[in-house]
Amino acid sequence: MSNKLVIIPTYNEKENIEKIIRTIFSLEEYYHLLIVDDNSPDKTANIIKDLQKEFSERLFIIERSGKLGLGTAYITAFKWAIEHKYDYISEMDADFSHDPKYLKSLFKACADNDVAIGSRYCQGIAVTNWPLRRVVISYGASFYVRNILHMRIFDSTAGFVCYKREVLESIDLDSIQMKGYGFQIEMKYNAYKLHYKIKEVPIVFVNRKEGTSKMNSSIFGEAFWGVIKLKFRKIKKRNANTNK
pLDDT in tens, the chain (244 residues): 689 999 999 999 999 999 999 999 999 999 999 999 999 999 999 999 999 999 999 999 999 999 998 999 999 999 999 999 999 999 999 999 999 999 999 999 999 999 999 999 999 999 998 888 889 988 898 999 999 999 999 999 999 999 999 999 999 999 999 888 899 999 999 999 999 999 999 999 998 766 565 555 566 677 778 899 998 888 888 875 555 4
pLDDT of residue 236: 83
| pLDDT at residue number 244 | 45
E-only strand ranges, the chain: 4-10, 32-37, 59-63, 88-91, 115-119, 127-128, 161-164, 198-202, 205-206
66 secondary structure, DSSP code: S
Residues 6 or more apart whose CB falls under 8 angstroms from that of 112 comprise 199
* Total count of domains within the chain: 1
- Compute CA distances 8 → 65, 125, 202, 225, whole Å: 17, 24, 20, 26
Pairing of strands 161-164, 88-91: antiparallel
Rounded Cα distance between 128 and 157, Å, is 17
Write out the residue range of the structural domain in which residue 86 sits: 4-242
Record the pTM: 0.91
Tens of pLDDT, residue by residue over 187-242, are: 999 999 999 999 999 999 998 766 565 555 566 677 778 899 998 888 888 875 55
Which CATH number does the domain housing residue 192 bear?
3.90.550.10
